[in-house]
């Protein structure tokens, strides 16, 4: 079964450092998403990406965040200057198309710990 | 976007059928209802999706009454491995509204031996 792959599984970084979280969506999927989940809290939408540009973003996704699809397979989330409150699980998801019934597939997540 | 309300937690014995109901009183005409399952430290996993009446797949059934203001996820004969958090999402796939919602608190299902 095709799956969304995220690397690394766990990243520890110092406050103020830049981090890049990587995702390989399912091949031939068109829509890509990042979500985060702070420990014990809800899964929160960050951003959606389609046709090489951001289609939607939440208020959480401020100027410290950016996304990129540098090649045909990877989808990255960059946090420029990490803060303690950025510590969370970050999930990447991809979806095949806009047709109804095309559910999003989630990766296993990257646990980001900012110290 | 339609707000959803689910029970915070449920307990069930192994082998029993579990029904989790989600209320979505302000569901819009184009909205679909989707359920996800999440295990600790893992990404959400799609379970089932529907628009009206009943949908069944190999994992679960989804019952949606005519007014669509609620929906019930039915898990037949649960096992210990079904212990997880179950999320109900409501949104319109075509506009992308479904995908930008926050998941909500979900229902934490604990299956007891």
What residues in B contact A4, CB-CB < 8 Å?
Answer: 43
Say whether B82 sits in a helix, a strand or coil.
Answer: helix
State residue A1's pLDDT score: 75
B98 pLDDT tier (thresholds 50, 70, 90):
low
State residue B103's pLDDT score: 80
C-beta separation of B50 from B32 below 8 A: yes
Query: How close A70 gets to chain B, by Cα (Å)?
Result: 23
- What is the number of domains present in chain B? 1
Q: Which two tokens stand for residue A58?
A: 């939440």
Say whether B80 sits in a helix, a strand or coil.
Answer: helix
Hey, are the CB atoms on A31 and B32 less than 8 Å from each other? no
pLDDT at B95 over 80: no
Query: How close B65 gets to chain A, by Cα (Å)?
Result: 19
pLDDT at A23 over 80: yes
Query: How close A105 gets to chain B, by Cα (Å)?
Result: 7
> Is B57 a member of any domain?
yes
What residues in A contact B49, CB-CB < 8 Å?
Answer: 101, 103
What residues in A contact B46, CB-CB < 8 Å?
Answer: 103-105
| Torsion A109-A89-A52-B35 (CA) sign | positive
Report all structural domains of chain A as residue ranges with CATH numbers, in order of start. 5-106 (2.60.40.10)
- A89-101 pLDDT per residue, tens: 999 999 887 665 5
Could you give the count of Cα atoms lying within 13 Å of A28 in the half-sphere of its Cβ? 2
- A62-107 pLDDT per residue, tens: 999 999 998 878 999 999 999 999 999 999 999 887 665 568 899 9
Average pLDDT taken over every residue of chain B: 90
Average pLDDT taken over every residue of chain A: 92
Q: Tell me which residue range forms the domain holding B96.
A: 9-112
pLDDT at A18 over 60: yes
B97 pLDDT tier (thresholds 50, 70, 90):
low
State residue A99's pLDDT score: 61
Hey, are the CB atoms on A42 and B94 less than 8 Å from each other? no
Of chain B, the percentage scoring pLDDT greater than 70 comes to: 91
Q: Which two tokens stand for residue B62?
A: 């989804």
pLDDT at B8 over 70: yes
Among candidates A90, A101, A95, which has minimal Cα distance to A39? Answer: A90
CB pairs under 8 A between A and B: 61
- The DSSP letter of residue A81 is S
Report which of residues B12 and A1 the model is more confident about: B12
> Is B1 a member of any domain?
no
Distance of CA A73 to the CA centre of its chain: 14
Of A42, A48, A100, the CB nearest to B99: A48
Query: How close B108 gets to chain A, by Cα (Å)?
Result: 12
- B29-52 pLDDT per residue, tens: 888 899 999 998 899 999 999 999
Hey, are the CB atoms on B103 and A100 less than 8 Å from each other? no
What's the CATH code of the domain at B51?
2.60.40.10
State residue B109's pLDDT score: 98
Report which of residues A97 and B25 the model is more confident about: B25
By C-alpha distance, the chain A residue nearest B44 is: A106
Hey, are the CB atoms on A4 and B43 less than 8 Å from each other? yes
């Amino acid at each position: 079964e095709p799956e969304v792959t995220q690397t690394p599984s766990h990243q520890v970084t110092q406050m103020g450092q830049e981090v890049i979280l990587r995702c390989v969506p399912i091949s031939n999927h068109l829509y890509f998403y990042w979500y985060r989940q702070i420990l014990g809290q809800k899964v929160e939408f960050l951003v959606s990406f389609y046709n090489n540009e951001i289609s939607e973003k939440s208020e959480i996704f401020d100027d410290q965040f950016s996304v990129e699809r540098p090649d045909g397979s990877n989808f990255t989330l960059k946090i420029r200057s990490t803060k303690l409150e950025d510590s969370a699980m970050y999930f990447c998801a991809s979806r095949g198309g806009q047709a109804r019934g095309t559910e999003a597939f989630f990766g296993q997540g990257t646990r980001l710990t900012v110290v | 976007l339609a707000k959803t309300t689910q029970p915070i937690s449920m307990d069930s014995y192994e082998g029993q059928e579990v029904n989790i109901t989600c209320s979505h009183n302000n569901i819009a005409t184009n909205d679909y209802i989707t359920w996800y399952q999440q295990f600790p430290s893992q990404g959400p996993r799609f379970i089932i999706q529907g628009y009206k009446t009943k949908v069944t797949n190999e994992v679960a059934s989804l019952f949606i009454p005519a007014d669509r203001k609620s929906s019930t996820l039915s898990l037949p004969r649960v096992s210990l491995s079904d212990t997880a958090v179950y999320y109900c999402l409501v949104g319109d796939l075509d506009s992308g509204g479904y995908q930008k919602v926050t998941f909500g608190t979900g229902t934490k299902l604990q299956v007891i031996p």
